[in-house]
Amino acid sequence: MNRRDILKRLSLLTLATTAFNNMRGLAAPAAPLPVPPPAVPDLFAELGVTKVINANVTMTFLSGSLMQPEVLEAINSTSHDFANMFELQDKVGAKIAEMLKVEAAMVTSGAACAILLGTAASITGADKEKIRQIPNLPGPRPEVIMQKSHRYLFDQAVTTTGAKIVEVEGPEGMEKAFSEQTVMALFFNAAEKHSVMHEEFLAIAKRHKVPTFLDAAADVPPVENLFKFQKMGFDLVTFSGGKMIRGPQSAGLLFGRKDLIEAAKLNHSPYEAPIGRPMKVNKEEMFGMYAALKSYLARDHQKEWNEWLERAKHIATRLSTIPTLTTEIVVDPGPANAFPSLAVDWDHQRIKTTPKEVLAALKQGNPSIVAGGHQNRLMIGVVLLRPDQVDIVAQRVKDILEHAV
């Protein structure tokens, strides 16, 4: 066999092999069907926890508000990597400060934590020895001035630092209360009426060169409040992150004067020894709070307000066939929880039940519905309802009241 015959036979063998392989490809079995993702477990059912429809306002015991999709995405997408928490706090704070047009900002574990950190910052500044000693500083206790009408449950965050609250009444009483021990003046925004108002409060404190702190935890909407009080001149301001900003329930915002924010950070985690160490904020909450604020500022607030009004009108229409029943859309004057709700009234001689009994029946049902009100009036909050829950609430209220006719 010569060289030409060998090459010819090799060529034929190659063609045969290629044809065979092509036939095998045609006869290849179909690719397996994709495996569907595993079903998401219902952890409410697994733990026996009752799901609640919140027809009230943003309350901590009802888990605040529901996070926006952008917030959930931020939390999930950042949960797969580690971060240097010092760097993250600084960079998230810088972006938040930029969005709010303030000197500096930080994410805290809620507004109450912000009050504690703001008080601690006013006491210690950047003094590492004081940061180590607080709340057991030697000598006289630091003092925080508050108006008597502004005292509230959350001012315990002030005394946790070791500070003493000095109650004052009126401009003259406030003027006389300042001493060498005064470190801060705290203004509770929801108690603004019947008190020394913002501008005068600020003027008095500034004359004594004492930092001012405003607690506005539940005071959005309107969105303008996020900018208003810093522009007024308050040195520190806090808002809850888990109310109408719709961020993580366990997060909050503290913003204002740069030196005080830097001192607040020194009193907080991830530093190992300060008073704020137990109040750490995880990286997902920081990213989530950033995403929540970004989303809130970009939202069409008028459109959202109109949607709330439509929900209230829809429920009112559903209830309109009940004899003697009247409804009214009311907006809380604020500054906290200043959004529309539906007030429901009826003749108790015709409909033999009380708002208190209706609230109990709603709460005991399945799903459990938590509404609001008082002895003479039922209040149905609409701003925290999912769209699919509006008719559920309307029908349940209607059933309870019609049964009592």
CATH code for the domain of 254: 3.40.640.10
Instruction: Identify the band that residue 26 occupies on the pLDDT scale cut at 50, 70 and 90.
Output: very low
Tally of domains within the chain = 2
Instruction: Identify the band that residue 10 occupies on the pLDDT scale cut at 50, 70 and 90.
Output: very low
135 plus 263 within the same structural domain: yes
Percent of the chain surpassing pLDDT 90: 87
Tell me the CA distances in angstroms from 148 to 152, 161, 188, 201, one per residue in order.
9, 20, 11, 13
Domain-located, residue 168: yes
Domain-located, residue 25: no
256 plus 374 within the same structural domain: no
Q: Which of 4-8, 41-45, 85-89, 325-329 has the lowest mean pLDDT?
A: 4-8
- 201-232 residue pLDDT tens: 999 999 999 999 999 999 999 999 999 999 99
34 pLDDT more than 70: no
5 pLDDT more than 70: no
Domain-located, residue 292: yes
218 plus 322 within the same structural domain: no
Q: Give the residue numbers spanning the domain of 389.
A: 52-59+301-403
Q: Which residue has the tokens 């008719």?
A: 391
Q: Which of 298, 330, 358 marks a domain boundary? A: 298
Are 99 and 294 in contact by the 8 Å Cβ rule? The answer is: yes
278 plus 305 within the same structural domain: no
Give percent helix, percent strand, percent coil of the chain, each to the nearest 5. Answer: 45, 15, 35
351 plus 385 within the same structural domain: yes
pLDDT, position 1: 52
Residue 363 CA to residue 360 CA, distance in Å, equals 5
- 150-184 residue pLDDT tens: 999 999 999 999 999 999 999 999 999 999 999 99
339 plus 392 within the same structural domain: yes
Instruction: Identify the band that residue 7 occupies on the pLDDT scale cut at 50, 70 and 90.
Output: very low
Q: Which of 263, 281, 298 marks a domain boundary? A: 298
291 plus 317 within the same structural domain: no
116 plus 225 within the same structural domain: yes
368 pLDDT more than 50: yes
Domain-located, residue 219: yes
pLDDT, position 157: 98
pLDDT, position 193: 76
313 pLDDT more than 80: yes
CB atoms within 10 A of CB 334: 17
pLDDT, position 109: 98
393 plus 244 within the same structural domain: no
Among candidate residues 121, 119, 85, the one with its CA nearest the CA of residue 267: 121
> Amino acid identity, residue 386?
R
Domain-located, residue 33: no
15 pLDDT more than 70: no
Mean pLDDT over all residues of the chain?
93
Domain-located, residue 5: no
- 231-271 residue pLDDT tens: 999 999 999 999 999 999 999 999 999 999 999 999 999 99
CATH code for the domain of 336: 3.90.1150.180
386 plus 274 within the same structural domain: no
Cα 13 versus chain centre, distance: 74
346 plus 267 within the same structural domain: no
Average pLDDT over residues 44-57: 96
Q: Which of 298, 317, 333 marks a domain boundary? A: 298
101 plus 182 within the same structural domain: yes
Instruction: Identify the band that residue 31 occupies on the pLDDT scale cut at 50, 70 and 90.
Output: low
